[in-house]
Structure 1
Amino acid sequence: MLFSKKRFMLGAAVALLSATTVFAQEDDDNLQPLRTHSLYMPYIDQDLQNRWFDFGGDALINTNRHVRLTQDMPSQSGWLWSRLPLEVSNFQIEFEFAVGGKGDNLFGDGFAVWLTKERAEPGPVFGSRDHFEGLGIFFDTYENGRSPHTFPYVLAMMGDGRTKYDNDNDGSNNKLGGCESNFRGRTETTKGRLTYSRDTSSLNLKIQTQFWDQWDDCFTLQDIKLPELPYLGFTAHTGEVHDNHDIVSVTTSTMVKAPQLLGHTRNTAPPPSSKSGLGWYLKFLAISGVFVGVVAVAYNMSKKSNDMKRF
């Protein structure tokens, strides 16, 4: 009987550890893939089209690698837009991208991610129209004016349909949030993860530039209201300076429950650092502590039972 009780206690400890691990991963269970706003290789069908996205301008498709919005050439402009608007209230968009070229000192200009009322209207703002209505996130690699931060830089702007993008000052007068991020010319996979909740009016951007699944906060915005039915877009342009701007994949998911995005706008986040992996290590220690605690309780109960039998 004592042997069976030990097995029971050990089983309970393992079960509790498993439950704790599942709890730590429950965010993945909150996501449901949204095929209408996701894009993967080979990107096009036998008719050289995509059911859910349109391509245009100078964009080129390599079915084994990426959608190249611009080549490493001057005066390029390309775009990629969803055909349907996003009709869900809470969603997450994870996009893999690559920016780079032959230039060592002079390169540009960058690319943009859009959630706007308009779609597929080429223009001067990273390849899309000015005076837009909705959200623009600019992955800017070229400094036009004097800035208090280094480049590359990621900047968020909410357009009301009337406000002009402050191109001469790299959007500094339009800035809601931003961060420095060394995303250009990386050999590692570079990704962005945009999370939005209409229920809580909050938006968060994380960026991966160094290690797989290591995400660094770029900014969190509160009191953000996107258009009711925004289109998802990616655009890029080059001028006298240039780069390859590639979109490798787009994974959009609807969230069953709205996320709790705490904090206010972060405008000065440092470049990605390997220190962010410390959080996962601390979580592991916490889970291990729970496991050790349960095993200790099981051992003490078994010892008391054994002592009573000897008595």
Structure 2
Amino acid sequence: MRSIFVVLASAIAACTSVLAQGTANMRTHSISMPYIDDELQNRWFDFAGNTIINTNHQIRLTSTKQSQLGYLWSRLPLMGDHFQIEVEFKVDGNSGHLYGDGFAMWLTKQRMTEGPVFGSVDRFEGLGIFFDTYDNERAHRHTFPYVMAMLGDGTQSYNNDKDGSDSELAGCEADFRAKGHPTRARLTYHKKNYLQLDLMWRTEDEWDLCFKTHDVVLPEQIYLGFSAHTGEVTDNHDIISVVTKSIPPAAVEAAPQAPKTVKKSSGSGVLSVLFKIICAGGLVGVLFVGYRFYDQRNRMKRF
């Protein structure tokens, strides 16, 4: 019981520090080496399944073995309307092998519930971002690896056979797998304003905008999590570090408007055709009158 009070007191102190400073690291939702304490636990995160903690390297959600499942979840809900989460991760495996399936980053009301969506529960409520390395449908217009976001309402299902394409909020192509330099994702959220994901995968310290979407509202109580699974195809799915920050609110942006297409009414189309016919008829009439006049003058000259 005493340990619970200690955890709650630390969480309250961390939240107070965040509110006072406006921008500050949130220890309750950040994790780095060596990841665990002397009791082989982490104060702020739970891990389970096939997850392996290597205190000098990474949190390995799955290894290159079939039918594995692992996850890492925050113990406390992520509070605040404006925050930024930066994750360093690594996805790789044996060279030349058929690899998959990828891993997921979660901001959802559910936590630590195993399921078919990258190792976590389906029909979730909140945000799922999927770092997908295996093409199940083979009919997409984009290549893989692919990073996709889905905003779940608790009833909508993620379609594994279509790689979630029918429920995609936003996404981008990003060849983040098997890189020789750090790969990172940076998620920025401003409530009732916008959600933005930037990725570092081309080279170190070079960020690419993956997507920016407006008017996104997450549930009031969400937990931060990461999960991965393997089936017949496998990969190492590693979390190296997570840094979560409270950030000041950004200026409210209006969602970009889609360009409007002006449809011509059928009536205006008919009038346009009639006008062209009249013009053509008038031109033929002028040419005919001119020809008759020219022919008549030639005849008068002969006499």
Give the structure-1-normalised TM-score. 0.73
Counterpart residue number, 1:38 = 30
Find the aligned partners of 2:41 and 2:251 in 1 and give their Cα distance.
Answer: 35
Q: How far off its partner does 1:213 sit? A: 2.1
Counterpart residue number, 1:187 = 180
The one of 67, 87, 93 equivalent to 1:95 is 87
Q: How far off its partner does 1:257 sit? A: 3.0
Q: How many residues align?
A: 236
SS at match of 1:67: strand
Counterpart residue number, 2:229 = 237
Q: Does 1:113 align with 2:105?
A: yes
> Which one-letter code corresponds to 1:206 in the other structure?
D
SS at match of 1:102: coil
Contact 1:40 1:249 in 2 (8 A): yes
Find the aligned partners of 2:94 and 2:168 in 1 and give their Cα distance.
Answer: 30
Find the aligned partners of 1:32 and 1:95 in 2 and give their Cα distance.
Answer: 16
SS at match of 1:156: strand
Counterpart residue number, 2:96 = 104
Contact 1:107 1:142 in 2 (8 A): yes
Contact 1:96 1:250 in 2 (8 A): yes
The one of 155, 158, 162 equivalent to 1:169 is 162
Counterpart residue number, 1:291 = none
Q: How far off its partner does 1:166 sit? A: 1.2
Counterpart residue number, 1:228 = 220
Find the aligned partners of 1:242 and 1:120 in 2 and give their Cα distance.
Answer: 22
Q: How far off its partner does 1:258 sit? A: 2.9
Change (3 A) 1:105 1:147: farther
Counterpart residue number, 1:197 = 190
Find the aligned partners of 1:261 and 1:37 in 2 and give their Cα distance.
Answer: 27
> Which one-letter code corresponds to 1:182 in the other structure?
D
Q: Rg bigger for which structure?
A: 2
Find the aligned partners of 2:256 and 2:104 in 1 and give their Cα distance.
Answer: 23
SS at match of 1:123: strand
1:1-311 matches, cutoff 5 A:
31-104=23-96, 106-145=98-137, 146-198=139-191, 200-258=192-250
SS at match of 1:227: coil
Q: What are structure 2's unaligned runs of at least 5 residues?
A: 1-20, 258-303
Contact 1:220 1:264 in 2 (8 A): no
Q: How far off its partner does 1:261 sit? A: 6.3
> Which one-letter code corresponds to 2:150 in the other structure?
M
- Cα deviation, 1:71-96, whole Å, max 9, x if unaligned, reads 01110100000000011110000000
Find the aligned partners of 1:206 and 1:130 in 2 and give their Cα distance.
Answer: 25
Find the aligned partners of 2:247 and 2:155 in 1 and give their Cα distance.
Answer: 32
Counterpart residue number, 1:17 = none
| Identical positions, percent | 56
Find the aligned partners of 1:258 and 1:52 in 2 and give their Cα distance.
Answer: 28
Q: What are structure 1's unaligned runs of at least 5 residues?
A: 1-28, 266-311
Change (3 A) 1:261 1:51: farther
Counterpart residue number, 1:6 = none
Counterpart residue number, 1:297 = none
Q: How far off its partner does 1:168 sit? A: 0.6
Greater CA drift, 219-228 or 100-109: 100-109
Change (3 A) 1:103 1:75: farther
- Cα deviation, 1:9-47, whole Å, max 9, x if unaligned, reads xxxxxxxxxxxxxxxxxxxx9631110000000000001
Greater CA drift, 212-221 or 118-127: 212-221
- Cα deviation, 1:165-220, whole Å, max 9, x if unaligned, reads 0111111101010000000000110000000011x431000000133321100001
Contact 1:204 1:261 in 2 (8 A): no
Greater CA drift, 203-212 or 78-87: 203-212
Q: How far off its partner does 1:223 sit? A: 1.2
Give the aligned CA root-mean-square deviation in angstroms.
1.6
Contact 1:189 1:210 in 2 (8 A): no
Find the aligned partners of 1:166 and 1:249 in 2 and give their Cα distance.
Answer: 29
Contact 2:103 2:226 in 1 (8 A): yes
Give the structure-2-normalised TM-score. 0.75
